[in-house]
Amino acid sequence: MAKWANDDVMDAALDKVATGITQTACNAQPTTYAQATNDPGSSGYALADITLTAGDGNGDYTIAAGDTNGRKVTIAAQTGVTIDYTGTATHVAICDGTSLLYVTTCDSQALTATNTVTFPAWDIEIGDPT
């Protein structure tokens, strides 16, 4: 007997991620919307931010089969994003208009205000049940 989940189940979770409209580079792990979207001068962690177009297939999110199994959502690359605040980026967050939805890590990268940063494409994957 194998465990099994319909792709729609995994896609529902990934669709929720794809409601995100803001991606930010943060200098610490945010655990709240305010931390993820405010800059360090306003008690937040955001050093740079870019607006995303919500929804699978609308340009910034693509939901597809996972690399080995399951499903994944890929967030498209965002190039030349203006850096608002100088600091070292260690995390990348996605938020909708009111909530922090997802946080991943990144290699520590020094960011300098007024320069630009590129967010390469990355993905969030949910594996099949095991």
Partner 1 sequence: MSENVTLGIHNAKIGTSSDFANKRKRQETVLKIKNGKLKVKKTTK
The residues that touch partner 1, with contacts defined as CB under 8 A, are: 13, 25, 79-80, 89, 92, 102, 104-107, 109-112, 114-120, 122-127
Residue 45's SS3 state is coil
Closest separation between CB of residue 125 and partner 1, Å? 5
**Rounded to 5°, angle at Cα 27 from 51 and 47:** 40
Work out how close the CB of 110 gets to partner 1 at its nearest, in angstroms, rounded to a whole number.
8
Compute the least distance from the CB of residue 130 to partner 1, in Å.
Answer: 9
61 with 76: CB under 8 angstroms?
yes
Of the pair 32, 79, the CB lying nearest partner 1 is at 79
Write out the two tokens for 129. Answer: 């049940």
Instruction: Kindly tell me which of 42 and 105 has the beta carbon lying closer to partner 1.
Output: 105
CB 112 within 8 A of CB 81: no
Instruction: Compute the least distance from the CB of residue 52 to partner 1, in Å.
Output: 14
Task: Give the C-alpha separation, 89 to 93, whole Å.
Answer: 11
